[in-house]
């Protein structure tokens, strides 16, 4: 049985998550969740995720028309193709 190689989280952050573009995308995702909390209430988002219908990576925005609340399962299943 092959041994599992440990992830180098510092390297991942340095090479991807720490890039200015990715930091900006993360800030937009956090902002989208805060805006939806104001609109539908914090308890309505319990166990749910705020989804961008058109992903930020494909030119989507935080406009209300581009956001929807989905269950965690549905959002991860979606795949953003």
> Which has the closest alpha carbon to 49: 22, 21, 77, 81?
77
DSSP for 31-58, please give it: HHHHHHHHHH-TGGGTTEEEEESS-GGG
With beta carbons less than 8 A apart as the criterion, state whether 32 and 52 touch. Answer: yes
What pairs with residue 69 in β-bridges? Answer: 50
Tens of pLDDT, residues 21-80:
999 999 999 999 999 999 999 999 999 999 999 999 899 999 999 999 999 999 989 876
Sketch the domain layout of the chain as residue ranges: 10-78
Nearby residues of 51 by Cβ (< 8 Å), 6 or more positions away = 67, 68, 69, 70, 75, 78
Name the pTM for this structure: 0.78
């Amino acid at each position: 049985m092959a041994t599992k190689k440990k992830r180098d989280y510092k390297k991942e952050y340095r090479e991807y998550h720490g890039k200015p573009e990715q930091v900006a995308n993360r800030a937009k995702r956090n902002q989208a969740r805060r805006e939806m909390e104001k609109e539908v209430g914090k308890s309505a988002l319990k166990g749910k995720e705020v989804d961008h219908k058109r992903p930020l990576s494909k030119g989507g925005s935080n406009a209300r028309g581009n956001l929807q609340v989905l269950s965690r399962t549905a959002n991860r299943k979606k795949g953003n193709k």
